[in-house]
Structure 1
């Protein structure tokens, strides 16, 4: 057992090194005085200052955050309703069909999804830009929310609902005072996952964005093609830090919710 424990930890260490070494390498050179990633000549904040002094880049950051927030909020609302519909639909055939349709967008390659939306928007006549990006992000975030919320619904005991109805609770009371509080951790998980996916998405956004509108992922890709610039390192480092803050925020909220649920059980 002791040998297996050591081997498992060694394996995890190797995996984390492979995953995070390139990121920390990028962050390390974001403080380089030189304008390349070959020789580290000293520490500087120059590249971070350039990021914040770039007005166009700040507008793109704002666009990205607005898209991510709107997409995550709307997809969370739709996803919760979708999860409720899948959970309480009576027909097993309909339930399996809905689950299959929900999982298609998750397993489908992003390139196919992006190309499909591009064709759809072209046929319908929707101008590529803010609206097309927002609709696309909502579409691929909804299945993620459903997947995060559905397990919480499935583990909820039906006796809770029966007890609430026996005490005279209406359908709205059962939903708002029993079901939604119980699945709150799943809702928060779905929201943060949707926000992260929307914030980081490149493939789908690349297809549906238009002239005059861009997101950070597309902008970083465009700048990287023009040549090595440590401004990209600085911007990517800030995005990585923001992602860590999001993850920590999610775990803090989830921990508090678990404590509240634990006190309620007592």
Structure 2
């Protein structure tokens, strides 16, 4: 009993340390004093400034478009990549493919961003929307592969064999057997890619150009100009949006698990 209590206290302290800076930022986003040293009164003026800034709203739209497009495209490519890796039967080539897939994940973001910058400069791609989108797709694909591949590995080959024996084509097996089975992994990969794209700064900072920006780069640029509680308000909104995505995915999975449990009981 005492051990469980100590574990709970330890977890609470860990989460408190992790979330304390975020809560501090959120708290002062409502400060009418205009600083982060003394809370003078409650106000929503900083949030009003965020929504009144047309340029900022365009940047928010840019961020959402890049995140959604990169997540959708990387999910398709990641699923195809996971299917290709799963079909490799020899252990050594499969491990090589998995290692290559993980390179972008374990590599420092600064190295990845600089590499993309050099690549786009050499091949003549203008820095802006296209360069940001391509780079986000590139670092999101390995994430999707990692989320989807375990679901493919745990799927019994008997399901595919049974479908083929019953006369299903390869396309039918893929669309009606494999994809429904790994659906949870696909959604997990999509939301992970979406979250990574929304939060990414280092890679985006290298490959963005004049006239195009994302929220993370814009927040960094404004923070360099001095402390402004508009940054707090903007960061709070971004944090809440990301949290809603995570909680939404969690409740969808929970609802699905409850539905499956009720079907099993019946």
Q: Which moved more, 1:240-249 or 1:181-190?
A: 240-249
Deviation at 1:89, TM superposition (A): 1.6
SS of 2:41's partner is coil
> Between Structure 1 and Structure 2, how many residues are aligned?
265
The alpha-carbon deviation at position 69 of structure 1 amounts to: 0.2
Asked if structure 2 preserves the Cα contact closer than 8 Å seen for 1:185 and 1:257, the reply is no
Aligned residue in 2 for 1:129: 128
Write out aligned runs for 1:202-213 (5 A): 202-213=201-212
Q: CA deviation at 1:137?
A: 0.2
Superimposed CA distance per residue, residues 68-88 of structure 1 (whole angstroms, 9 cap, x where no aligned partner): 000000000000000011111
Q: Match of 2:190?
A: 191
CA distance in 1 between counterparts of 2:190 and 2:255 reads 17
Aligned position for 2:13: 14
Provide the TM-score with structure 1 as the length reference: 0.97
Q: Please name the residue that 1:84 is paired with.
A: 83
| Structure 2 gaps, min length 5 | none
8 Å contact from structure 1 (residues 111, 203) kept in 2 = yes
Structure 1 unaligned residues grouped into runs of 5+: none
1:36-51 aligned at under 5 Å gives the runs 36-51=35-50
Structure 1 position 259, deviation (Å): 4.2
Backbone CA RMSD of aligned residues:
1.3
- 1:255: how far off? 2.5
8 Å Cα contact 1:118/1:208 also seen in 2: yes
Deviation of the 1:256 alpha carbon: 3.4
1:52-111 alpha-carbon deviations (Å, 9 max, x no partner): 000000000000000000000000000000001111123322211110100111100000
- Measured in 2, the distance between the counterparts of 1:261 and 1:162 equals 25
Aligned to 2:33: 34
2:258 matches 1:252: no
Separation of aligned partners in 2, 1:170 and 1:198: 36
Residue 49 of structure 2 is aligned to residue 53 of structure 1: no
Q: Following the alignment from structure 2 to structure 1, what is the Cα–Cα distance between the partners of residues 166 and 255?
A: 28
C-alpha distance in 1 between matches for 2:111 and 2:11: 33
Q: Give the corresponding residue for 1:103.
A: 102
- 1:172-193 deviation per Cα after TM superposition (whole angstroms, max 9, x unaligned): 1111111100100000000000
Who is 1:63 aligned against? 62
CA distance in 2, matches of 1:223, 1:116: 26
Q: Give per-residue Cα distances to partners, 1:184-217, cap 9 Å, x unaligned.
A: 0000000000000000000000000001100000
1:148 aligns with 147
Residue 113 of structure 1 aligns to a residue whose secondary structure is: helix
CA separation in 2, counterparts of 1:160 and 1:57? Answer: 50
Q: CA deviation at 1:257?
A: 3.4
In 2, Cα distance between equivalents of 1:17 and 1:220:
24
Return closer, same or farther for 1:173/1:256 CA change in 2, 3 Å cut-off. farther
Runs ≥4 residues deviating over 3 A: 256-266
Paired with 2:233 and 2:131, the residues of 1 have a C-alpha distance of 29
Which residue of structure 2 aligns with residue 115 of structure 1?
A: 114
